[in-house]
Amino acid sequence: MCGICGIYMANSGPINRQLVTKMTELLIHRGPDGFGYYFNEKIGFGHRRLSIIDLEGGSQPISNEDESIHIIFNGEIYNFLELKNSLMERGHTFKTSSDTETIIHAYEEWGLDCLNLLNGIFAFALWDNNLKKLVLARDHLGIKPLYFINFQNKFLFASEIKSLLLDRDCPREVDLESLIDLFTFRYVPSPKTMFKDIRKLPPGHYLTISNETLHVERFWNKKPEIILGREKGSLVTEYQELLEDAVRLQLRSDVPIGLFLSSGIDSGALLSIMKNFVDYPIHTFTVGFENGEKTNELEGASYLANLFGAEHHDLIISTQDYVNYFDSFLWDIEEPLGNETAAAFYFLSKLAKDYVKVVLCGQGADEPWAGYPRHLGVKLSNYYSKLPKFFTEKFLNSLISIIPKNEKLKRGVGSLSEKDILKRFVKIYSFFNVKMKTKIFKDNVKENCPYEDFLNPDVIRPLFEDVDNLDPLNQMLYIDTRANLPDDLLMVTDKTAMANSIEARVPYLDYRIIEFIETLPSNLKLRGFTGKYLHKKALNKYVPSNVAYQKKKGFSNPINKWFISSMSSYVDEMLLSQNSAVRHYFNQDYISQILNSHRSGREEYYRHIFLLLSFELWHRKFIF
DSSP H helical segments within 540-585, as ranges?
Answer: 545-548, 559-564, 568-576
Asked if 313 and 285 count as a contact pair (C-beta separation under 8 A), the reply is: yes
Residues belonging to the active site: 2
User: Residue type at 202?
Assistant: P
Q: Which helix (H) or strand (E) holds 314?
A: strand 311-317
Beta bridge partner(s), residue 312:
284
**Cα gap 474→469, rounded to integer Å:** 10
Cα gap 621→624, rounded to integer Å: 7
| Peptide bond preceding 373 in cis form (omega within 30 of 0) | no
CA dihedral 218, 79, 516, 555 (to 10 degrees): -90
Rounded (to 5) percent helix, strand, coil in the chain: 45, 15, 35
**Burial of 107: CB neighbours in 10 Å, binned 0-12, 13-18, 19+:** buried
DSSP 91: T
Sign for the pseudo-dihedral over CA of 289, 371, 613, 405: negative
- Which residues make Cβ contacts (< 8 Å) with residue 250, sequence separation at least 6? 76, 78, 360, 505, 507, 510
Cβ(582)–Cβ(588) below 8 Å: yes
What's the CA gap between 148 and 591, in Å, rounded? Answer: 34
Report DSSP state, residue 592. H
Residues 6+ positions from 507 with CB-CB distance below 8 Å? 243, 246, 247, 250, 270, 360, 513
Euclidean distance between CA atoms 185 and 182, whole angstroms: 5
Neighbour-count burial for 192-213, b at 16+ CB within 10 Å, e otherwise: bbbbeebbbbbbbbbbbbbeee
User: What is the amino acid identity at position 412?
Assistant: G
Strand duo 205-210 + 213-218: pairing: antiparallel
- The rounded Cα 547 to chain-centroid distance in angstroms is 26
Q: Where is 258: in which H helix or E strand?
A: strand 257-260
Question: What does the alpha-carbon distance between residue 441 and residue 446 come to, in Å, rounded to a whole number?
Answer: 6
> Distance between CA 53 and CA 79 in Å, rounded?
13
Strand 199-200, strand 205-210: pairing: unpaired
Task: State the Cα–Cα distance between residues 614 and 388, nearest whole angstrom.
Answer: 42
Do 342 and 496 touch, CB atoms closer than 8 A? yes
- Please calculate the CA angle 136-138-144 and round it to the nearest 5 degrees: 125
Q: Residue 162, class by beta-carbon neighbours within 10 Å (0-12 exposed, 13-18 middle, 19+ buried)?
A: middle
Q: Which residues pair with 56 in a beta bridge?
A: none
